[in-house]
Structure 1
Amino acid sequence: MNESEFRLRLEIDNTVLQVWIEQGWLVPETTAGGRDFREADLARGQLILDLINAMGVNESGVDLVMDLVDQLHGLRATLRDLTDAVCHQNPDVQEHILSELYRLERQGRR
């Protein structure tokens, strides 16, 4: 979606959007036609609005939350890659990994 539609859907003005981009909370794709926003950007924008308006979180707090969200997404991607890598191993290697996970779980490390 273009910048105008994005601002309209979130009911924010250009100044607010510019601050969010400058803070790095949103990183839209830049094309020849301008900025392009994805549905994920819309969800991030709604989260930012909820943090600020509904919860009273200040700019530093939003910074922290958005950083944690980004870290969580990065960890999920890493876990997905690790899971794919394990699935491509021989069954005996997969069984060994599962056994180790169960052992760690019994020790309370998970």
Structure 2
Amino acid sequence: MDDLEFRRFLKIDVTVLEVWVEQGWLLPQSQDGARDFRDTDVARGRLILDLTQDMGVNDAGVDLIMDLIDQIHGLRGTLRDVLAVMAEQDEEVKRRLRGRLDELSGTVGL
């Protein structure tokens, strides 16, 4: 989806979109010099609107929230990779890993 479609879909003006991109809250792909917004950009845009319009979060707060969301997303990907590697191990290694994880979760109260 191009800039115009994205703005119409979220009902925002060009200035708002430019601020979001400059702040790094949206990272549209670029094709032939034109920005291309994906479904993830639309979801992030909706979240930004909820935060700013409905919840009254200021720009610094939105910046922090978006950064934390990106970190959580990255951690989920890393955890998915770790679990995939664990699943490839033989049963003895899996048993030792589960045992060690059980020990650790007992020490931190999980």
The TM-score with structure 2 as length reference comes to 0.94
1:69 counterpart = 2:69: yes
Q: Structure 1 residue 88: deviation in Å?
A: 1.2
Cα-Cα RMSD: 1.2
| Residue in 2 that maps onto 1:86 | 86
Partner of 1:98: 98
Mapped partners of 1:56, 1:107: distance in 2: 39
CA distance in 1, matches of 2:79, 2:106: 21
Partner of 1:19: 19
Moved over 4 A (4+): none
Matched AA of 1:58: N
Partner secondary structure for residue 93 of structure 1: helix
1:44 corresponding residue in structure 2: 44
Aligned length: 110
Q: Distance in 2 between matches of 1:20 and 1:93?
A: 46
1:2: Cα distance to partner? 1.6
TM-score, L = length of structure 1:
0.94
- Distance in 2, matches of 1:41 and 1:75, equals 19
In structure 2, the gaps of 5 or more residues are none
